[in-house]
Amino acid sequence: MESSKREKRKVGLIGCGAIGSEIAVAIDSSRVNAELVAVYDACRERAYTLVSRLNKRPMIADSIEALLASDTELIVEAASQQAVKDYARSIVEHGNDIMLMSVGALLDDTFYAELCSLLERHGRRLYLPTGAIAGIDAIRSVKHMLKEVTLTTTKHPRALTGAPFFKEHRVNLKGLKKARVIYNGYAREAVRLFPANVNVAAILSIAGIGADKTKVKIVADPRARRNIHEIHAKGEFGELYFKVSNVPSPSNPKTSYLAVLSAIECLSRACNGRVSIGT
């Protein structure tokens, strides 16, 4: 009952695609104790399409400046890694907390350090949903004891299509008849080459031993019906193993539905704030 008496936080949204739309609908249906006051998308038509679905119509901002002038308290980014780099500093400097979906942008160490400095200076908070994986609380708890962390992501080839990786490597996804490892490396490079597919590698790196030590293996499997993420961690504490088999988002096969649900839960915690579960 207490949370229902709290004043709703005023939220702005950047990115009106699949994830942004799901977050907006969750706010509109009162699943989150917030008021969506403004939305912005570089594609104005996407913003209009989203707003037409909502009962409570937020303002459609024609620029980031207009979004930040709309009396927001918390901005949710659901656009791209580039959007994070372009807008995150201004968001914090305008006195907003920020929730990022495109966590991969934070693997730019210089940018992340600068953003953390701004957060400290302005007394703002940064929220990072765990996305389509499990076990982040456990990884954070033992990060000082970790020796090895490996993420194996398996997706249907159509969920990987269009990644920058394929501009640098010739892989015929359409010709695959069985599962094939198409990438085996480390998180920093993986997030650059697959920005829409392995943001989970970024959050895992930040929670654990870093982007240059977190191993990433990406498997394209034409028989896959779900997006599968497996985490194997070893250290002085013992071993951890997590496997999540995700249904793809109905509106975007590149995204696991759990990533959407994780974002909604993270936003709900940011807006309610009375009870915090987990590490």
User: What pTM does this model have?
Assistant: 0.92
Q: Please tell me the distance from the alpha carbon of residue 215 to that of residue 232, in angstroms, as a whole number.
A: 10
Q: Measure the CA angle with vertex 22, ends 28 and 85; round to 5°.
A: 110
Q: Please tell me the distance from the alpha carbon of residue 180 to that of residue 116, in angstroms, as a whole number.
A: 39
Q: What is the pLDDT of residues 237-259, one digit of tens each?
A: 999 999 999 998 877 777 788 99
CATH number at residue 184: 3.30.360.10
Do 152 and 178 have their domain in common?
A: yes
**Residue positions annotated with a catalytic role:** 229
- For residue 72, the one-letter residue type is T
- Closest-CA residue to 35 (of 43, 44, 26): 26
**What residues of the chain score a pLDDT lower than 70?**
1-6, 273-279
Do 239 and 268 have their domain in common?
A: no
> For residue 277, what pLDDT is reported?
67
Q: What is the pLDDT of residues 141-172, one digit of tens each?
A: 999 999 999 999 999 999 999 999 999 898 98
Do 58 and 151 have their domain in common?
A: no
Do 140 and 109 have their domain in common?
A: no
Q: Please tell me the distance from the alpha carbon of residue 45 to that of residue 22, in angstroms, as a whole number.
A: 17
Residue 18 labelled as part of a binding site = no
Do 164 and 84 have their domain in common?
A: no
- Domain extent, residue 209, equals 136-246
Within-domain flag for 10: yes
> For residue 1, what pLDDT is reported?
38
Within-domain flag for 13: yes
Whole-angstrom distance between the N-terminal and C-terminal Cα of the chain? 25
Q: Please tell me the distance from the alpha carbon of residue 268 to that of residue 275, in angstroms, as a whole number.
A: 11
Instruction: Give the 3-state secondary structure of residue 227.
Output: strand
> For residue 3, what pLDDT is reported?
43
Q: Please tell me the distance from the alpha carbon of residue 72 to that of residue 11, in angstroms, as a whole number.
A: 5
Within-domain flag for 119: yes
Do 194 and 263 have their domain in common?
A: no
Q: What percent of the chain has pLDDT over 90?
A: 87
Residue 199 labelled as part of a binding site = yes
Positive or negative, the Cα torsion across 111, 189, 144, 200?
positive
